[in-house]
Amino acid sequence: MNRIGTDRVLVGTAAPTPQQVLAVARGGAPVDLVTDALDRLATIREHIDDLAHRAEPAYGVSTGFGALALRHIPLDRRIDLQRSLIRSHAAGAGDPVEAEVVRAMMLLRLRTLMSGHTGVRPRTAVALAGLLNSGLVPWVPEYGSLGCSGDLAPLAAVALALMGEGDLLGPDGRAVAAGPALAAAGLEPLVLAEKEGLALTNGTDGMLGMLLLAIADLRRLFDLADLSAAMSVEALLGTDRVFAADLQALRPHPGQARSASRILAALSDSSIVASHRGPDCTGVQDAYSLRCAPQVHGAARDTLTHAAVVAGRELAAAVDNPVVLDDGRVESNGNFHGAPVGYVLDFLAIAVADMACIAERRTDRMLDVHRSHGLPAFLAADPGVDSGYMIAQYTQAGVVSELKRLAVPASVDSIPSSAMQEDHVSMGWAAARKLRRAITGLTTVLAVELLTAARALDLRVPLEPAPATAAARELLRTRVPGPGPDRHLAPDIAAVTEMIRDGALDSILESLG
């Protein structure tokens, strides 16, 4: 899979990169199919056509599915079998998932189809690419996947749209009928052949797509947490000595070293830090939320690195059941089980919750007159008349509490299905959905810490912060006013949250190394 120029993504037999998935899912990049790979699909399809006309049963080709696999389907009903599979499996419920998730899922399923191991016809891959390039987004309900036998209900919703049935997401977010929308886009409904219903639904593409999107989001948020921690350390008159490289090397975790280096860089040339570095300073050591920031942030970074390794392996996978092997054999397997992806999705939710927890503790310390080293209570202009950021910390605390609940793993909660044929499932889709909510929560928590630390730095005048933290504060001030009487605070939190999401702080984050 390779980028063509700056816009198009070429889909063949090679594994996509995470950047390519993001380009299609979020950037709307169109796809092209490798001609040689399409020719290979036609050759491989001959094995499925041969099986479809044999008397002996072949799972998914001439039998029912799941617990109904013992039912032999006569030759004249095998096209009906595939159509019925999609209609029955498109049984999701709830609000539609985000368009970027659906587009990622479609691309990843297309890549597996193009691997040749699913046995689909070339026209089926072409049809899925056409739907992806049209910009039309199938309506995929949030609930329905158990993360085993693939993300069945979500992928079936996509396949249903390919058939001209079901709904699509309209421009206003409301459902529109797929049939007329396909026609308006110049696309013809797909009539599925033998095994193609299985090939379109039997993959972990939804949970993998959400993992890749989460990894991209968390890389930025973990970088941002280092900056917000540095601002809090500075605002609380903390020391930068604990972040020294030789101290960090005593515990050689790579994520810890990176976070410590970035926090130290953010505090470089700070007159606030320098002001209490001399022998007159009576402080012995800072609180854990300041001193241990590299250890917590670093552990989260290393967790993210592990998740990226798993995602890379999954990107190279061809998940279906049964699969067509290179020697022409068609074999059943268990590669559709979502445990590898589900585990790391849950692991990331734990890291997110703890990152938010330590950020909230730093924020609370800045607001507490007994622990803030001279800052006014709650950073209020006139404490008592004004409440300052008191309730902003409540918002943080409420979000952190929710994040702790979201950190409870989904992947340990297997529920048997399909009359005990599918007696152990991964719940990886559920793990992915809660991680997306957790990422939103972490964004809010870091926004409040940035808002609080920026005000605390303002209140340290005439001492000046480090160039990096000063630049962050000044960027915030382009959207949120500085200290003063109480004002409606929710819009300020929303403004800083939007700054994080739109990348306004990215140049500062990149400057930290």
For residue 385, what are the contacts with CB-CB under 8 A and spacing of at least 6? none
The token duo for 309 is: 């390794």
DSSP string, 197-227: HHHHHSS-HHHHHHHHHHHHHHHHHHHHHHH
For residue 336, what are the contacts with CB-CB under 8 A and spacing of at least 6? 148, 149, 150, 202, 203, 204, 319, 320, 321
Nearest residue to 206 (alpha-carbon basis) of 83, 29, 25: 25
Q: Which residue has the tokens 């889909």?
A: 11
d(CA 55, CA 507): 65
d(CA 388, CA 377): 8
Is 59 assigned a catalytic role?
yes
Catalytic entry in 59, 288, 343, 394: 59
Peptide bond into 491 cis (omega under 30): no
* 3-state secondary structure string across 440-495: HHHHHHHHHHHHHHHHHHHCCCCCCCCHHHHHHHHHHHCCCCCCCCCCCCHHHHHH
Nearest residue to 209 (alpha-carbon basis) of 352, 343, 90, 311: 311
Q: What are phi and psi of 220, to 5 degrees?
A: -70, -45
Q: How many CB atoms lie within 10 A of CB 60?
A: 28
Angle at 360 between CA 209 and CA 499, to 5 degrees: 55
For 112, 413, 422, 490, the CA distances from 105, given in Å and listed in that order, are: 11, 23, 23, 35
Q: Is the dihedral of CA 185, 191, 196, 202 positive or negative?
A: positive
Nearest residue to 359 (alpha-carbon basis) of 302, 296, 402: 296
Pairing of strands 175-177, 330-331: unpaired
Burial zone of 93 (CB within 10 Å; 0-12 exposed, 13-18 middle, 19+ buried): exposed
The token duo for 48 is: 């499925």
d(CA 220, CA 333): 37
- Taking each helix axis from N to C end, the angle separating 99-114 and 35-52, rounded to the nearest 10 degrees, works out to 70
Active site residue ranges? 59
